[in-house]
């Protein structure tokens, strides 16, 4: 179900002098015409929503907000309708979108996040919004980095969340990544903004909540917020350099590329560092699969070992990964093709 309210206007409510929107006025965010903000009712999203209303209209930018009712808590609908009333009283544009259908019993938070973004993106296209804003903040970034560190992520994972990315063709901005949650709570208190707290944020069954609970222990050991954020920035810088090197190297390879396959001479493939082999395999699987069923990093790492070991005996190595057949042969070279459909036994 989707409900809407009227177009927002500039609000003159007293605001804290906290410079909440950290992107400069020259940033591409300010070149957009219509921001759509995901608002859960927590202090982070309420602070972002309010700050956007304070600043965006003077740049000629329309602001809308959307609250997702996942249907997982009875109170969620009441909270969404309370936010709708809050917006209506101030003449701010607000929408409620419902995650309908049966809910998964496994990987609930991950699948709820996927559904949430899809609902927001669908709404953005419907109302003509050209920018999606979410209120991820520095504490979220720290949790993300710790969560990925615990799983052995490479530089891309340790970089954390990007301040700007593209999601299903829509510009996605996170303008609060340098702000601590305490700042956002203070902003809401000063501006007398209502807030809701989702109990699932502290549910120890979920990996995010587990990471969140660990962070104070790291801080006591001397790894404070600045350390985590510095690690993220350095990993992002390393990933940017690696991605550029990989792009330039892979583009220059003597490859034969078709819509359903990729072929490279043996020596050209074997001459690549393993990191670039992994990036090449990931890139081509994504291209052939049209970004459906992307491989995980550890799968690609294992694949490199599986491909090269048989060749020491002069054999052909062939393995299936993410619905693709990857082969390496001394004479025929390296290839990735769409894997044939498995025969169904009668």
**d(C-alpha 310, C-alpha 316), whole Å:** 7
- 258, 267 contact by CB (below 8 A): no
* Residue 192 backbone class (left: φ over 0; alpha: ψ -120 to 50; beta: rest): left
What pLDDT, on a 0 to 100 scale, did the predictor assign at position 223?
80
pLDDT band at 206 (very low <50, low <70, confident <90, very high): low
Q: Is 3.40.50.970 the CATH number for 2-231?
A: no
Residue with the larger pLDDT of the pair 70 and 93: 93
- 121, 170 contact by CB (below 8 A): yes
249-268 as b/e: b if 16+ CB within 10 A: ebeebebeeeeeebbbbeee
What pLDDT, on a 0 to 100 scale, did the predictor assign at position 205?
57
**d(C-alpha 27, C-alpha 32), whole Å:** 10
Tell me: the pLDDT tens digits for 46-89? 999 999 999 999 899 999 999 998 766 777 888 999 999 999 99
Nearest C-alpha neighbor of 236 from the set 292, 297, 177, 167: 177
CA contacts within 13 A on the Cβ side of 105 = 0
* Residue 231 backbone class (left: φ over 0; alpha: ψ -120 to 50; beta: rest): alpha
Query: What is the CB neighbour count within 10 angstroms for residue 168?
Result: 13
Residue with the larger pLDDT of the pair 11 and 153: 153
State the average pLDDT over residues 196-218: 67
State the average pLDDT over residues 13-29: 60
pTM for the model stands at: 0.80
Residue with the larger pLDDT of the pair 78 and 131: 131
Quick check: 12 pLDDT over 60? Answer: no
Question: Any idea where the domains of the chain sit in the sequence?
Answer: 2-231, 253-338
Q: Mean pLDDT check: name the lowest of 126-135, 179-188, 205-214, 239-248.
A: 205-214
* Percent residues over pLDDT 70 in the chain: 84
What pLDDT, on a 0 to 100 scale, did the predictor assign at position 19?
55
**d(C-alpha 328, C-alpha 164), whole Å:** 38
């Amino acid at each position: 179900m989707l409900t809407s309210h009227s177009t927002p206007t500039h609000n003159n409510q007293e605001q804290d002098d906290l410079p909440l929107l950290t992107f400069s006025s020259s940033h591409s965010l300010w070149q957009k015409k219509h921001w759509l903000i995901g608002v859960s009712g927590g202090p982070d999203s309420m602070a972002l929503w309010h700050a956007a209303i304070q600043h965006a209209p003077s740049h000629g930018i329309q602001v809308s907000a959307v609250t997702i009712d996942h249907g997982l808590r009875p109170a969620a609908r009441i909270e969404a309708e309370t936010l709708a009333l809050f917006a209506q009283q101030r003449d701010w544009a607000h929408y409620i979108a419902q995650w309908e259908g049966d809910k998964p019993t496994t990987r609930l938070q991950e699948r709820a996040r996927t559904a949430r973004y899809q609902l927001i993106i669908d709404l953005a296209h419907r109302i003509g919004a050209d920018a999606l804003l979410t209120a991820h903040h520095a504490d979220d970034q720290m949790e993300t980095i710790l969560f990925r560190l615990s799983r052995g992520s490479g530089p891309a994972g340790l970089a954390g969340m990007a301040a700007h990315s593209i999601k299903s063709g829509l510009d996605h901005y996170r303008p609060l990544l340098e702000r601590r949650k305490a700042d956002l709570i203070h902003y809401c208190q000063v501006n007398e903004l209502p807030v809701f707290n989702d109990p699932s944020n502290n549910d120890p069954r979920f990996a995010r909540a587990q990471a969140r609970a660990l962070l104070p222990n790291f801080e006591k050991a001397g790894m404070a917020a600045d350390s985590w954020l510095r690690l993220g920035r350095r990993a992002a810088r390393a990933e940017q350099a690696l991605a550029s090197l990989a792009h330039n190297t892979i583009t220059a390879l003597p490859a034969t590329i078709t819509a359903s396959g990729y072929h490279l001479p043996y020596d050209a493939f074997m001459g690549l560092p393993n990191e670039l082999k992994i990036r090449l395999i990931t890139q081509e699987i994504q291209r052939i699969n049209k970004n459906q069923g992307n491989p995980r990093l550890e799968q690609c790492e294992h694949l490199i070992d599986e491909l090269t070991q048989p060749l020491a005996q002069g054999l052909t190595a062939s393995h299936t990964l993410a619905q693709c057949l990857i082969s390496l042969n001394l004479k025929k070279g390296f290839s990735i093709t769409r894997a044939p459909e498995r025969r169904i036994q009668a």
